[in-house]
Amino acid sequence: MRCCSKLWMISALLLLGLQGCGFHLRGEDAPITLPFETLYLNTQEPYSTFSKALREQLQTAKVKIVSEPAQSPLSLVILNDTHTSRDLSVGGNGQTRRIVLAEEVRYELRDPKGRAIGQTHTVQAQRYLTQTQDQILAGSNDEMRLQSDMATACARQVIMQLQSPDTKESLKSLTKKPGSRTTPTAFPG
């Protein structure tokens, strides 16, 4: 009994120590704070799974997505969204196969004059799918689910990169005027 209470005390102290140092688990309910309030989303495929997932992530972050580039001091330009599918293996009888699915998205932030802010970024997601002969029809449903999952993962990666100190610094340097130390309210933080 004494051993259990010591173990419980040690566990509680470790948890308090982690909480005290600022550690927290990443999760769905973690607040998203982006260094801008409005954004024009420029994509050649506005109704793709990735574009929809990105819009949802931006709306969760309370970013107003405008319909015209002139309405926002920033544009998020999706340069390309590439999907690939590659067979990794086929079973000895030719029936079982393993496929790797991948999605790669390249994007950049631009100012109202169309100049890139910072560098071009790339995010990627990859998933594996194993199918047997009797799963071929179900496999297409699995593939669609995995494609959706990859689009959501790529959208989250874009949001994480937009939250980065590098992005905030790029936006601050963009909005500073010579001799000025303040930034416009369009870019909080």
pLDDT digits (tens, 9 = 90+) for 114-156: 999 989 999 999 999 887 766 655 556 888 899 999 999 999 9
pLDDT digits (tens, 9 = 90+) for 13-58: 676 666 655 555 555 556 778 999 999 999 999 999 999 999 999 9
Q: Which domain holds residue 59?
A: 31-175
Q: Which residues contact 6 (CB under 8 A, 6 or more apart)?
A: none
The string of DSSP codes covering 39-106 is EEEE-S-TTSHHHHHHHHHHHHTTPEEESSGGG-S-EEEEEEEEEEEEEEEE-TTS--EEEEEEEEEE
The CA angle 112-117-122, to the nearest 5 degrees, is 120
144, 123 contact by CB (below 8 A): no
Count up the domains in the chain and report the number: 1
**In-domain check, residue 24:** no
Q: What CATH number does residue 74 fall under?
A: 3.30.160.150
